[in-house]
Amino acid sequence: MGRGIYINAFMSMVDDAEIMIGDYAMFGPNVTIATAGHPILPILREHHYTYAIPVHIGRNVWVGSNVSILPGVTIGDNSVIGAGSVVVDDIPANVVAAGVPCRPVREIGEKDREYYFKNRRLDVWE
């Protein structure tokens, strides 16, 4: 874990493999990061096969409440993962991503310098 990490209530990390979290990442309540999984093929599950693949979360990432991050995922620096998302594939840097499965919705850009939430204007730059 990096510096300045914020973790809200009830976070769960299944760390059978490495979980790397960059500086200043933030996690809402009820986030799950899972590095472990089980094969699709039933016979392999009968034999208790399991796998563990590292998860990498970049610097300054914000993960909303009730998000699940699955094995092998990398989330790029500065990205935001919307509440309730299930992250099954890599998410690039500097995007807002959401959904089931989680996908980039838009890039973080100039509008975000003016508004902090919907139509609520920032006043810190004046």
Could you read off the pLDDT of 38-97 as tens digits, one per residue? 999 999 999 999 999 999 999 999 999 999 999 999 999 999 999 999 999 999 999 999
Alpha carbons within 13 A on the beta-carbon side of 107: 2
Residues carrying an active site annotation: 38
* Distances 91 to 74, 94, 114 between C-alpha atoms, Å: 6, 9, 24
Q: What is the mean pLDDT of the chain?
A: 96
Q: Rounded to whole angstroms, how far apart are CA atoms 84 and 98? A: 8
Q: Which tokens is 115 given? A: 């508004």
Sheet with 55-57: strands ordered across: 19-21, 55-57, 74-75
Q: How confident is the model at residue 126 (pLDDT cuts 50, 70, 90)?
A: low
For the chain, domains (ranges, CATH) are 6-121 (2.160.10.10)
CA-closest candidate to residue 97, choices 78, 110, 115: 78
